[in-house]
Each structure stands twice: as structure tokens, then as C-alpha cells.
Amino acid sequence: MKILVTGGLGFIGSHTVVELQNEGFEVVVVDNLSNSSEQVVDGIFSITAKKPLFEKIDLRDKKSVQELFQKYNDILGVIHFAASKAVGESVENPLLYYENNVTTLVYLLQELQKLPKAHFIFSSSCTVYGQAEQMPITENASVQKAMSPYGNTKQIGEEIIEDVTKVSEIDAILLRYFNPIGAHPSAAIGELPIGVPQNLVPYITQTAIGLREQLSVYGADYPTPDGTAIRDYIHVVDLAKAHVVALQRLLQHKNKDKVEIFNLGTGTGSSVLEVITAFEKVSGEKLNYKIVGRREGDVVAAYANTDRANSVLGWKAEFSLEEALASAWKWEQKIRS
């Protein structure tokens, strides 16, 4: 059973390729290496003893996308990770984001629309909820006006998929990730942020390893128990496994609707200070940090109600925050050694 994974050498994509191969799927990875490296293929091989087929293609090139589907005319499902994901960069260069995140989606769906049947899984984000009124956040919470062009590409992406499934034989699952962190326990694959990390956990591990001097904690005056903002940090391996389960649901025609939406989180919120404390505990390192002002655009709290994913997909996050942080630390130590 051949599955196309776009962005399959990236952070979440590579972990998903591992889980797909572990479940016996044959994987074709498409990636333009804009935010990853071909060595990730070796990392995947070292875990699964199997190399995915790899096509270095830029999905912005419509002709290449068409040729891809001509070459592989037996693709049963597509998991679409490829996108640009830096919120700040999207504010500075919105068209780059609309082109890379929206145009590429359209090109893929145009090819899938030609097939007698197609199954599609889309990487969406909890960012679509903005600051939700109620915690934990259910899938029925309303989608808020996007706070960045990046966030908007996820909302537009969801709408495009909703529209096309109404008039085609494509069915889809939209997965709204909360905050993915960590690395494969083997430390053969993990997150490779380019430049200064924007996300909390890679910033923590890079500070602990001595690459950054100090972590800035953005705001300790939020209306939360310790004043720092709350998120739902989910181990990337748990997230990857959810993709396999979602894909199997579509392949086995178990889906009730042409488009289904699932939150992927642990269901537990952790504050920035709680993450720092947990990191210090698992790493044995003292973290140099200071409290600074709030970061523009940050929400106070976001954590998932995972009931739907638990009951409908039969999936539940298994790793603890400590385990996820330990794996991120192991990965950081490995890549700097």
C-alpha cells in the first residue's frame, strides 16, 4: 500500500514515515529540502531498516506535481505536511506563505481529484482556535480570525479541503496539532530548527547545550497559576502514530463524513515554568532563563479536549511531558556531539 508523504523529511513528517513503515506501508516521500536534509532518510533507515522512496520535488512546481502522480499511479493516500511554518516570517513575507502553503495544496488536490478515490490527511494547527473561550478546546470551538498569515494558510487550507471534498471522491481528515515536541527515542531523527528557534523546547535545549546564552520567558503576568502561558505539549511520536490511525480509518472507509476533524494533544496544559522545571529534572541541567515581556500574538492558554480522537480514532497520547523533554535533550546532545 503506497502512501505519499509530502514534507516527509521534516520534523513531524519523518516521525510519521517511521510509524507508517513500521505498520507495513510503502512510503513515497516528497520534499524540497527547504527545511530538512536528505540525511533524514538515513535516520529513518536506521530505525526501520527500510528506506522510503524519495523524490526531491518542490510542490510549488505544478508540472512536477503532475509528473509525480503519473510516475506513481498507485498512491492510496496522501499525508500532506509540506508547508512553511514560521509565524514571524509569515508576517514579514505573507505571499511566500500563501504560495507555499496554499498553492501547493491546490496542486495536490487537483491531481487527487482526477483519481477514482483519494484519501487525504492535512496538517492543521490549534492556531485556528486563537484564544478559545473555553479550556480544554473541543473541535466545536469556533475558528477565530487568524493572527498571522501562517495561521490563515491553515484556515484557508481547511476550507479548500472542505470545498473540494463536496465535489470529488476525495475524503479527508484534518488534524489540528497542539504543540509537537521531542524526538524519536533512538535519537536517529528529531527537530532541526534553522537559525534561532522560535519555539520553546528547541530554545530550551539549545540554551542548555550552550548554543544560546539565555532563554527569555515571554511573560509571567498572564492570568494562570504561575503567570506564564499554558500549552499542550505532545510528543512527536504520539503525533506520528495518530496519522497512521487516521489514514487507516480512511482506507478502511470507517469515516462518517467526507471531512473529519481531530485535535491532537495530550489534554494537559503545562505552563512555560512547568516545562522549564520538568526539563531541569530530566536533564539534570540548570537552565539560564529570565522573565521578559509578553510576545506579541501569544495566547494565554491552549490545551486540547482529546475526547474525539480518543473515542473515534481510538488513539491517545502515551508519552509524558518528561519523556518528551528527555527525548528532545537526547537529540540535542546527539546532534551537537
Q: Which residues are catalytic?
A: 150
Pick the closer one to ligand WQD by CB: 66 or 93: 93
Pick the closer one to ligand WQD by CB: 208 or 272: 272
Contact status: 10 vs ligand NAD (CB under 6 A): yes
The site string for ligand NAD over 247-276 (x = CB under 6 A, - otherwise) reads: ------------------------------
Q: Which grid coordinates belong to 287?
A: 537552565
Q: Is 9 left (phi over 0), alpha (psi -120 to 50) or beta?
A: alpha
Q: Which grid coordinates belong to 191?
A: 527537530
- Min dist CB 111 to ligand NAD, Å, is 14
Sign of the dihedral defined by the CA atoms of residues 282, 287, 291, 294, in that order: negative
Q: Which does 35 bind (CB under 5 to 8 A by kind): ligand WQD, ligand NAD, none?
A: ligand NAD
Q: What is the 3-state secondary structure (H, E, C) of 76-127?
A: EEEEECCCCCCHHHHHHCHHHHHHHHHHHHHHHHHHHCCCCCEEEEEEEEHH
User: 292-311: which residues touch ligand NAD (CB under 6 A)?
Assistant: none
Q: For residues 154-168, b (16+ Cβ closer than 10 Å) or e, as one string?
A: bbbbbeebeebbeeb
- Min dist CB 108 to ligand WQD, Å, is 19
- Min dist CB 169 to ligand WQD, Å, is 29
Q: Which grid coordinates belong to 143?
A: 475558528
- Min dist CB 178 to ligand WQD, Å, is 8
Instruction: Check if the beta carbon of residue 266 is closer than 8 Å to that of residue 314.
Output: no
- Min dist CB 33 to ligand WQD, Å, is 20
Pick the closer one to ligand NAD by CB: 41 or 118: 41
- The closest alpha carbon to 177, from 306, 8, 278, belongs to 306
Instruction: Check if the beta carbon of residue 29 is closer than 8 Å to that of residue 3.
Output: no
Q: Which does 216 bind (CB under 5 to 8 A by kind): ligand WQD, ligand NAD, none?
A: ligand WQD
Sign of the dihedral defined by the CA atoms of residues 57, 58, 59, 62, in that order: negative
Burial of 232 (0-12, 13-18, 19+ CB in 10 A): buried
- Min dist CB 306 to ligand WQD, Å, is 17
The site string for ligand NAD over 18-47 (x = CB under 6 A, - otherwise) reads: ------------xxxxxxx-----------
Instruction: Check if the beta carbon of residue 80 is closer than 8 Å to that of residue 123.
Output: yes
Contact status: 17 vs ligand NAD (CB under 6 A): no
Binding site for ligand WQD (CB under 6 A): 85, 87, 125, 127, 179, 198-200, 203, 215-218, 229, 231, 272, 295, 298
Instruction: Check if the beta carbon of residue 146 is closer than 8 Å to that of residue 152.
Output: yes
Contact status: 149 vs ligand NAD (CB under 6 A): no
- Please give the DSSP secondary-structure letter assigned to residue 48: H
User: 53-112: which residues touch ligand NAD (CB under 6 A)?
Assistant: 58-60, 81-85, 100, 104
Pick the closer one to ligand NAD by CB: 107 or 222: 107
Provide the binding-site residues for ligand NAD, judged by CB under 6 A: 7, 9-13, 30-36, 58-60, 81-85, 100, 104, 123, 125, 177, 180
